[in-house]
């Protein structure tokens, strides 16, 4: 233990905790570290990268707390859920009034609200902060989405600004985004959008692979050619990188990767929350469902689904002129995913009293995070600090520009309709935009059906009030 008190304490020396400690220590911030697994601290202390850095290694929580300047600032990077609760049960009694604890894990926003109330009883401030960017982002500059009391944010702000990535104007990609669990709510929606974008890109690759018969490096070249548009993004970059990656045994690694995708639950949290608030997010929901469906690997093999896909190959090989339409479909899907996510945030801000700063959300997402994209610049222009649309696609001028792509997208959808290729997120995105453009939806029949079997009433176009018919 060093005698000089530390500016910050980081609890949790997993990949993200280590990377954040290195990030800040390299910038001159004095950091104390501790872990529920002492071996993690011991291993970190002998990492060649820490040589000469202002780091203090604690073996126990009491030593860790004692090493920090007051008011103490502690950043938790431990496993979300029960582990976080156990760490807080041990930590909070050792702290003093005015200290601040920031949870940087993928915690559910309702857990964050509960923990903030628990800490507040002891006079300790609690911040929930979404961290996006993975190991590379944590080390070189992540996107940091903070929520809680503004005075607590002010204490942590210099540290978060120092750690964060930079936006196009050179400003740190971090901000106070709202009250209570706002930070973790924004991160939850961020992850839902991430699911939708990843699934849409995967479906586009499936068309290139199984439909057009392109080799992985050929598909990568197509993705790379799309960087001259709003599709320019981190996810587009890594998609091309993954497709080009060679296996140690020869060939492309992607051809050996099992099509069973894991998930940690944040995407399904966003989908469930949207259903609870009555916000349509079909692109996000379809992406979550496809991850779940992919888990039934053995059942899919027994169903011989590959036979269905192979039917359409002969008709699709000659359809390479579909590339412009396929690009338009990906652009439409990207807009749909972000629009659905922003709609959910707008609704949650009112429902949960979060007072979300939606323009700042888009700015914070513009650097360091997984969903950073050139499109965010255009979306940001639709918002002001004091005025925000409920949904970007509710802005007439933006919707008009988006809808101009629908003809090309419909051509692609029609060409692929008989291919046997499942494209749920791409199709959900198209249907979402078409539904918003429809002057009359078939739900008029649904409302009449509800009244017929349950006397639930309906509204008329030419009269006001709830009515019931004698069907």
Q: Any idea which residues carry the catalytic annotation?
A: 187, 194
Beta carbons of 77 and 17 less than 8 angstroms apart: yes
Helices 323-351 and 424-437 sit at what angle, rounded to 10 degrees? 70
DSSP H or E segment with residue 117: helix 109-120
DSSP string computed for 271-282: HHHHHHHT---H
DSSP string computed for 350-392: HHTT----HHHHHHHTTSSSTT-BTHHHHHHTT--SS---SSG
Beta carbons of 104 and 93 less than 8 angstroms apart: no
Q: Where are the beta strands (DSSP E) in 85-190?
A: 100-103, 125-132, 143-147, 174-176
Residue 256 is encoded by which pair of tokens?
A: 């050996």
Question: Which are the contacts of 350, defined by CB distance < 8 A and separation ≥ 6?
Answer: none
Q: Cα–Cα distance between 81 and 83 in angstroms, integer?
A: 6
**Alpha-carbon 379 to chain mean position:** 16
Q: Name residue, tokens 């598909």.
A: 219
Q: Cα–Cα distance between 415 and 360 in angstroms, integer?
A: 40
């Amino acid at each position: 233990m060093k005698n000089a008190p530390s500016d910050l304490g980081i609890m949790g020396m997993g990949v993200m905790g280590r990377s954040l400690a290195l990030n800040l220590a390299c910038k001159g911030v004095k950091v104390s570290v501790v872990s529920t697994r002492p071996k993690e601290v011991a291993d970190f202390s002998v990492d060649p990268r820490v040589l000469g850095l202002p780091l203090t290694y604690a073996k126990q929580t009491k030593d860790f707390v004692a090493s920090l300047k007051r008011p103490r600032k502690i950043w938790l990077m431990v496993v979300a859920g029960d582990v976080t609760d156990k760490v807080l049960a041990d930590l909070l009694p050792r702290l003093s009034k005015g200290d601040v604890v920031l949870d940087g894990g993928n915690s559910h926003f309702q857990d964050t609200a509960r923990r903030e109330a628990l800490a507040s009883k002891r006079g300790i401030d609690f911040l929930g902060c979404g961290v996006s960017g993975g190991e590379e982002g944590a080390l070189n500059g992540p996107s940091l989405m903070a929520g809680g009391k503004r005075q607590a944010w002010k204490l942590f702000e210099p540290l978060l600004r120092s750690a964060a990535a930079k936006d196009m104007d050179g400003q740190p990609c971090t901000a106070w985004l709202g009250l209570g669990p706002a930070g973790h709510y924004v991160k939850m929606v961020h992850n839902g959008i991430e699911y939708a974008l990843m699934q849409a890109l995967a479906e586009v690759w499936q068309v290139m692979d199984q439909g057009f018969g392109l080799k992985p490096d050929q598909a990568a070249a197509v993705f790379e050619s799309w960087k001259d548009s709003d599709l320019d993004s981190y996810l587009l970059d890594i998609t091309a990188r993954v497709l080009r990656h060679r296996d140690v045994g020869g060939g492309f690694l992607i051809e050996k990767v099992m099509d069973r995708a894991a998930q940690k639950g944040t995407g399904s949290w966003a989908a469930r929350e949207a259903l609870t608030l009555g916000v349509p997010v079909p692109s996000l929901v379809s992406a979550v469902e496809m991850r779940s469906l992919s888990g039934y690997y053995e059942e899919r093999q027994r169903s011989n689904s590959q036979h269905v896909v192979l039917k359409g190959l002969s008709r699709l090989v000659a359809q390479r002129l579909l590339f412009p339409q396929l690009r338009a479909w990906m652009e439409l899907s990207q807009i749909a995913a972000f629009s659905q996510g922003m709609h959910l945030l707008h609704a949650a801000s009112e429902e949960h009293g979060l007072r979300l700063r939606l323009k700042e959300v888009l700015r914070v997402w513009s650097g360091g995070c997984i969903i950073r994209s050139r499109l965010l610049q255009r979306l940001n222009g639709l918002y002001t600090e004091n005025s925000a649309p409920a949904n970007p696609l509710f802005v007439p001028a933006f919707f008009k520009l988006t809808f101009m792509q629908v003809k090309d997208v419909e051509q692609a959808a029609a060409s692929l309709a008989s291919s046997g290729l499942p494209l749920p997120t791409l199709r959900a995105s198209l249907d979402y935009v078409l539904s918003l453009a429809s002057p009359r939806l078939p739900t008029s029949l649904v409302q009449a059906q509800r009244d017929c079997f349950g006397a639930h009433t309906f509204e008329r176009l030419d009269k006001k009030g709830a009515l019931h018919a004698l069907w």
